[in-house]
């Protein structure tokens, strides 16, 4: 793996010039890259509609919300998120000491930590495109958790060789990639044949009445929280339009098959608004 921006225990960067620990970089104050400055100026719909620029909005948004992300997820899902993640990791079938687990779009590391605890001895790497998320994840590492690393990285262009993972987990991540196919092709590339992909995400509900209600709730609640916490409604108002443009749960199963996976199990929650997929790399 290329060791750019890799964080180990205590939030220290483990790839200083001498290979030793170094202090995490300070948050940027350059106005042209300061996410708090640029996010309100970005046109949400234009970015969501164009895979070439979507990531710019997505990365800025997650940098802005990183510090409050965990609290938001708990509140917004009425506490259900924790159970969904545990259920997803229940499907982990590589629990040997030499398992190589990669958690993509890891955020503050919930799935990486759950996977590591379910698979004692496995090596776990979490990647996220937002540096503040990675710093939050690294700050949760306990003494002795040396087999878990977190690194800044884009799931559409991972710094990993082909067939270098036994398990990939992704929580609410594929929807945020420029296209689902870009993320799934990259996951297929890094997984060993026979390896497991576990995903949890929002999907566009197939039923039009439920879809309307679900998206309405996501839009209103997300915008209110985005305004209340950041004075930037799109900070969470992003969720509804991103789900509206995303695949249905069944369409995602077909996208997995097209990318070289066999879907082993699908568990729907909230009438298809949320789903957990377990798939095997062919």
Ligand X SMILES: C[S@@+](CC[C@H](N)C(=O)[O-])C[C@H]1O[C@@H](n2cnc3c(N)ncnc32)[C@H](O)[C@@H]1O
Residues that bind ligand X (CB under 6 A): 55, 58, 62, 73, 104-107, 110-111, 127-130, 133, 154-156, 171-173, 176-177
Q: Which is nearer to ligand X, 61 or 99 (CB)?
A: 61
> 147, 124 in Cβ contact below 8 A?
yes
Take residue 218 and report the two structure tokens written for it.
Answer: 């996501």
**Residues 6 or more apart whose Cβ sits within 8 Å of residue 134:** 5, 7, 106, 126, 128, 150, 151, 152
- Least distance CB 66 / ligand X (angstroms): 7
Q: Which is nearer to ligand X, 21 or 67 (CB)?
A: 67
Assigned token pair, 214: 């679900």
Whose Cβ is closer to ligand X: residue 175's or residue 281's? Answer: 175
Q: Which is nearer to ligand X, 21 or 77 (CB)?
A: 77
Residue 150 or 261 with smaller CB distance to ligand X: 150
Q: How far is the CB of 266 from ligand X (least distance, A)?
A: 18
Least distance in Å: CB of 104 to ligand X? 6
Q: Which residues lie below 8 Å from residue 233, measured CB to CB, with a gap of 6+?
A: 223, 224, 226, 227
Minimum CB separation of residue 143 from ligand X in Å reads: 23
Residue 74 C-beta: closest distance to ligand X, Å: 10
Are 165 and 100 spatial neighbours (Cβ–Cβ below 8 Å)?
Answer: yes
Distance CA 112, CA 239 (A): 23
């Amino acid at each position: 793996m290329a060791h750019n921006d890799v964080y180990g225990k205590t939030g220290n960067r483990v790839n200083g010039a001498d290979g030793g620990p170094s202090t995490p970089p300070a948050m940027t104050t350059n106005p042209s890259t300061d996410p708090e400055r640029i996010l309100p100026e970005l046109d949400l719909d234009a970015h969501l509609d164009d895979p070439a620029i979507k990531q710019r909005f997505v990365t800025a948004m997650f940098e802005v919300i990183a510090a409050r992300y965990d609290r938001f997820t708990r509140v917004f899902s009425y506490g259900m998120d924790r159970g969904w993640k545990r259920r997803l990791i229940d499907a982990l079938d590589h629990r040997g000491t030499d398992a190589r687990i990669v958690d993509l779009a890891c955020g503050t590391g919930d799935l990486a930590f759950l996977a590591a605890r379910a698979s004692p001895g496995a090596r776990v790497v979490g990647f996220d495109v937002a540096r503040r998320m990675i710093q939050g994840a690294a700050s949760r590492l306990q003494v002795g958790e040396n087999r878990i690393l977190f690194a800044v990285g884009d799931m559409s262009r991972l710094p990993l060789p082909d067939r270098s993972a036994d398990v990939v987990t992704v929580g609410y991540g594929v929807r945020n990639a420029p296209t689902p196919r870009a993320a799934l092709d990259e996951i297929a590339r890094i997984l060993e044949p026979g390896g497991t992909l576990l995903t949890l995400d929002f999907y566009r509900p197939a039923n039009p009445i439920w879809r309307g209600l679900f998206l309405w709730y996501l839009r209103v609640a997300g915008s209110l929280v985005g305004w209340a916490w950041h004075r930037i409604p799109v900070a969470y108002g992003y969720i509804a339009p991103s789900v509206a443009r995303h695949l249905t749960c069944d369409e995602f199963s077909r996208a997995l098959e097209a990318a070289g996976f066999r879907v082993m199990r699908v568990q729907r929650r909230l009438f298809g608004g949320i789903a957990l997929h377990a798939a095997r790399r062919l």
